[in-house]
Amino acid sequence: MAAIIEAGSKQFKVEEGSTILVDLMKGEPGDSVELDKVLAVIGDGPAVFGKPYVEGAKVQATLVAHTKGKKIIVFKYKPKKRIRTHTGHRQKYTELKIEKISV
């Protein structure tokens, strides 16, 4: 069974046992998380699509770890103006392991 969920304004296709990286969520590693914004459930029988969400559908996940993404360098330059800015950014993520999909 698979589901399409919305987490942090992004959509993910998940299956039981898979891991995903979502934007930073509150909680400690080992905590249980319930995601109720399920857009579609695909699998046993016909596919169920929500308008916008499927009623009664939930995805149980376990918070595995908090990580950081790859560093992105932002460099702004204006010719003939002596303006040069050099900054970096690392996005913070939460790794989730999908345990159970229920409808």
How do residues 4-53 score in pLDDT, each as one tens digit?
Answer: 999 988 999 999 999 999 999 999 999 999 999 999 999 888 999 999 99
- Structural domain boundaries enclosing 55: 2-102
Mean pLDDT, to the nearest integer, of 51-59? 94
Q: What is the mean pLDDT of the chain?
A: 95
Residue 77 has pLDDT above 90, yes or no: yes
Closest C-alpha to 67, from 38, 90, 100: 90
Strand partners, 72: 89
Q: pTM, whole model, 2 decimals?
A: 0.84
Are the beta carbons of 52 and 39 closer than 8 angstroms?
Answer: yes
| C-alpha to C-alpha distance for 25 and 93, rounded to whole angstroms | 8
Mean pLDDT, to the nearest integer, of 72-82? 97
Closest C-alpha to 52, from 4, 20, 16: 4
Count up the domains in the chain and report the number: 1
Distances (CA, A) of 77 to 81, 82, 84: 9, 8, 5
